[in-house]
Structure 1
Amino acid sequence: MKSTAVTQPALVYSVLGALLDYPDAQLLAALPEARLLLNGERALTRESKAGLERFLDYCEARDLMTLQENYVAQFDRGRNTSLYLFEHVHGESRDRGQAMVDLLQMYERHGLFLASGELPDYLPVFLEYLSRLPGDEARALLAETAEILQSIAAQLTKKGSAYGLVVGALAALAGIRGVDTPHEISEDDAQSPPGPADYHALDAAWVDEPVRFGGAPAPAQEPIQFYDRRPGDGAHSTPSRNRSQENRHG
């Protein structure tokens, strides 16, 4: 997260994507800069800025190992809080594979090439892509994920997870009003993993209550649609951060 590489309207997407990525030493070193940049971001509401301040306080109050354990506890246990967007649309069906190929090709047309092991539907990767688009296009594409973001934020808020504040800020950017965010942040996220009954409940919620996108009225249930955009002038290839799940446990 380098300020020299972040310009409007890319700023907010790049910073929030970094905050939602697996924590590392580089992120901790960049927290003061992230605080400054987010405080000056006009696209964020006052409520979102206050929530992000709380999230940054949460990060600064913990050591790296605790942050990493909490991250895994929040995002690697159950589909309802997964940061892989197509899990909320396709699950493990074969449709997800083709959707990933289409999304990856769209990224590459804008000069975003992923490292081996990185999946294109990972939310921080998607936000990196948005940072390369003109502002109106980025906002329109983010809006297509609005109900996914709202659903993830609601689940994180139920857990008292600080990450609910970040996803909630994204949901607000996507056009969702009155997003629920945690009033109190749990101090021991990683110390109370869900039991078997909790996993069954998470899977049941994912199967029985599919998310609708784009404001489609019931009973329509549209999967998220990523539309091809005209590549912007001057697109270039930039190595992306390694976000593969393998690195979370190594």
Structure 2
Amino acid sequence: MRLLNRGGGNVISLHDRAVWQCASLLLAYPDESLAERLRTVDELRAAVRDRAAELLAHTITALRTADPMRAAADYVETFDLRRSSTMYLTYWTAGETRNRGGEMHAFTQAYLDAGVQPPADEAPDHLPVVLEFAATVDPVVGRRLLVEHRVPIDVLHDGLVDHGSPYAHTVAAVCATLPAPSDQDARRAQRLAQAGPPAEAVGLQPFTLTVPPRRAEGGR
């Protein structure tokens, strides 16, 4: 999930970039490299202050003390089996509609414009990918992508909180680096959480009866 920086980028707060990189590492699947990633996060947290550092510490502690097999199973259950906590950001903005391809392409194009190839093993709108891009490649464009998808990130956070997931603290730390959501954003996030993402509504043909209807009693 590494993105190689081939070009310069405008500098945003080192604090925010450190939070994004920590979050990208913590939100990755807890495989055999988890211990190494946690050591990297410990080093990066030196640039993180106040509340964000505390939030990240909650997730770090939970992952460091969890049984490895249990941590892996919890990750799959949390992010792969629960719609409310998916990390694919365009799921909440486009659902499983034809518009989603175009929205995912916008992420891919942002990476290409910055001089990097999107990861071959993950979708470009996956939150850990976006966070690493923002932290290490182009913080300005990366932050824009995060801000534009603040509502899906809020929905994700609320879903994690509802299930008591330790990953909620890391997503909260990411939210703290972004502008506060407007009242409209908050209402939209609540509607999405309750009703789900958009559904395909165009291109559907009217229902056509292909068998003769049953005749009414006594009809001929």
Q: What TM-score results when the alignment is normalised by the length of structure 1?
A: 0.63
- Assess, with a 3 A threshold, how the Cα gap between structure 1 residues 81 and 98 changes in structure 2: closer, same or farther: same
| Aligned counterpart for 1:208 among listed residues 184, 195, 202 | 195
1:17–1:127 contact (8 Å) kept in structure 2 = yes
- Assess, with a 3 A threshold, how the Cα gap between structure 1 residues 138 and 100 changes in structure 2: closer, same or farther: closer
1:55–1:166 contact (8 Å) kept in structure 2 = yes
Alignment of 1:37-76 (within 5 A): 37-42=44-49, 46-76=50-80
Displacement, 1:23? 1.3
1:108 maps to what in 2? Answer: 112
Residue 26 in structure 1 maps to residue 33 in structure 2? yes
CA displacement 1:92-121 (0-9 Å, x = unmatched): 000001222232122122132134342111
Q: By percentage of residues, which structure has more helix?
A: 2
Structure 2 residue runs without a partner (length 5+): 6-10, 182-190, 199-220
Alignment of 1:1-250 (within 5 A): 8=14, 10-42=17-49, 46-131=50-135, 132-134=137-139, 136-176=140-180, 206=193, 208=195
Displacement, 1:36? 3.3
Structure 1 residue runs without a partner (length 5+): 178-203, 212-250
Identity %: 29
CA displacement 1:165-199 (0-9 Å, x = unmatched): 1111111112237xxxxxxxxxxxxxxxxxxxxxx
2:130–2:142 contact (8 Å) kept in structure 1 = no
- Assess, with a 3 A threshold, how the Cα gap between structure 1 residues 140 and 99 changes in structure 2: closer, same or farther: closer
Aligned pair count reads 178
Which deviates more, 164-173 or 7-16?
7-16
Query: Quick one: distance in 1 between partners of 2:27 and 2:79?
Result: 10
Query: Quick one: distance in 2 between partners of 1:117 and 1:209?
Result: 26
Displacement, 1:139? 3.4
Query: Quick one: distance in 1 between partners of 2:196 and 2:145?
Result: 23
Query: Quick one: distance in 2 between partners of 1:11 and 1:17?
Result: 10
**What RMSD over aligned residues (CA atoms) do the two structures have, in Å?**
2.8
Query: Quick one: distance in 1 between partners of 2:18 and 2:156?
Result: 22
- Assess, with a 3 A threshold, how the Cα gap between structure 1 residues 33 and 79 changes in structure 2: closer, same or farther: same
Displacement, 1:148? 1.7
CA displacement 1:133-184 (0-9 Å, x = unmatched): 14x544343222222222211111111100101111111112237xxxxxxx
Q: What TM-score results when the alignment is normalised by the length of structure 2?
A: 0.70
2:107–2:124 contact (8 Å) kept in structure 1 = yes
